[in-house]
Amino acid sequence: MADDKDQRILELQLELERIKAQGNLQFDAYQTVLTRRYCSAAMSELFSQRSRIGIWRKLWLALAESERALGIDNITIEALEEMRSHLYVTDSDFETARVEEKKRRHDVMAVSYFAGASSDYADMRVARPCIWYCCSSGSGYHPLRCHQLFRD
């Protein structure tokens, strides 16, 4: 079991290196006039679009895992595995999110819509607005309250 996990981590690290090797500065580095003067490369990468969306995905995964641990069974193990397999953001993800952002006029909603729409699991498509509402609106709602909103 540990070997499978180590192998998966290695695969994800290699995928991340492959994505970084594409060298798309537009998504991999935060850019402003002040960036060149005051930001280190590490800070610029941390605040990049790819990093920001990757962190959102990790938060959504942690939220879904926690809800499953609390007994919310409509978040399946298969759905969690799919979320794990899409933690790293590709350039094509940005293009799809850009199209959705034009429709929805909200960057977080566009990314969360794309995450749900690209899922093979209906439960994740249902969870998408709940995740967006809890994680981006500053509502202060507890995840269990979100579950109550969407369980019917």
Q: What is the pLDDT of residues 93-152, one digit of tens each?
A: 777 777 777 777 766 666 666 665 555 554 555 555 555 555 555 545 455 544 444 443
CATH number of 2-150: 1.10.275.10
Give residue limits of the domains in the chain.
2-150
Residues belonging to the chain: 152
User: What pTM was computed for the model?
Assistant: 0.53
Mean pLDDT of all residues belonging to the chain: 70
